[in-house]
Each structure stands twice: as C-alpha cells, then as structure tokens.
Amino acid sequence: MRVWKFGDNIDTDAIIPGRFLTIYDPGELAKHAFEGTRPEFAGEVKEGDIIVAGKNFGCGSSREHAPIALKGAGITMVIAESFARIFYRNAINVGLLPIVCHQAGIIMEGTPVMVNLDEGYLVADGKRLAIEPIPGFLKRIVDCGGLVEYAQSLEEVPACTVSQR
C-alpha cells in the first residue's frame, strides 16, 4: 500500500482531463488519471493505494469520471482535510471512500496509513489522527457498496422523509 500525497484544491480537471470524458470504463479512465499533473501516477499506482490530500479535494466539475478513474486505478480511499461537495457525494455513490481528516496535511508521501472507520481515527507514522464520521444517510450507501446497490433495494422513496443527519 502506497500513500500518494497531493496538495490543496486538487480539481477534477487534474484528476481526469476534459478530453477523456467520452470514456466511462473504470480501467480505461484509470490510464489517464492525473495525466499532465502527476504523470507517473497511472503507471505506478497499485490496487489498495491511498490518496492523501489537503483541503477542497475534487473541486470543480461534477464529472463522476473523477472518482471512477481513481477507483479504477485501485485507490480504495481518499483522505483529505476537506472535500468539494459534489466529489464527496460522487465518491460515496461509486464506492470510493472519502475520509475527512483535518490533520491529513501532516501525513507524508509514502507513510503507511491504517484507518479505523468504526472508531473514527487513523494511524500514520505512529500518530493517531481523528477522522470525521460519514453522515448517517450516506453511511447506509457506503454500507451497501454504493448508491446503485442501495437504490436496487428500494421500491420507491417516500418524498420529504427526514433522514438521520
């Protein structure tokens, strides 16, 4: 498992440039992940690797190609100080785990990271850092493996029902 470290405001154009948006296959998208901004990524990334980033990860376009490309590349989770809203939701929907850790900035490239989602912390370089819980209504989607899987279990949705926060 390798930790790929990124900075602040990593936008979805950086994750997957606009010229590849006619592609929908995860494996094909993965070949172009971070093309131009982190050229070695697509060739070296391995199944089970993790991305650690600063604030506002995934800002910009609503393109779901971005989390799909990362998942297709084998990335299992993105740990960031904060996420852009649409990316966060998209990641959960496609089964890529977005983890908010306000101290993610101190995790160095290549440092092994162990995440304990249930107890709300991660350990990196011997340091225990708090992570934010995934909101209840999204946790159910995570537990199903994604929104498609969750939706398959629903016949209809009762409009205006309040959910767990």
* Residue selected from 30, 50, 93, 98 as contacting other proteins according to rule CB under 8 A: 93
8's tokens: 């602040």
Tally Cβ neighbours within 10 Å of residue 79: 24
> CB under 8 A: which stretch of 21-29, 40-48, 108-116, 117-125 binds other proteins?
21-29
Question: At a CB cut-off of 8 Å and minimum separation 6, what does 161 contact?
Answer: none
Span 97-116, contacts to other proteins by CB under 8 A: none
Q: For residues 3 and 105, is the Cβ–Cβ distance under 8 A?
A: no
Residue 18 binds to other proteins (criterion: CB under 8 A): yes
The H-or-E segment that residue 79 falls in is strand 77-80
Where do we find the tokens 């899987």? Answer: 149
Q: Which two tokens stand for residue 25?
A: 């296959």
Binding part of the chain for other proteins, among 41-49, 60-68, 71-79, 105-113 by CB under 8 A, reads: 60-68
In the complex, the residues that contact other proteins under the rule CB under 8 A are: 9, 11, 13-14, 17-24, 36-37, 55-56, 59-65, 82-86, 89-90, 93-94, 135-137, 146-148, 151-152, 154, 156-165
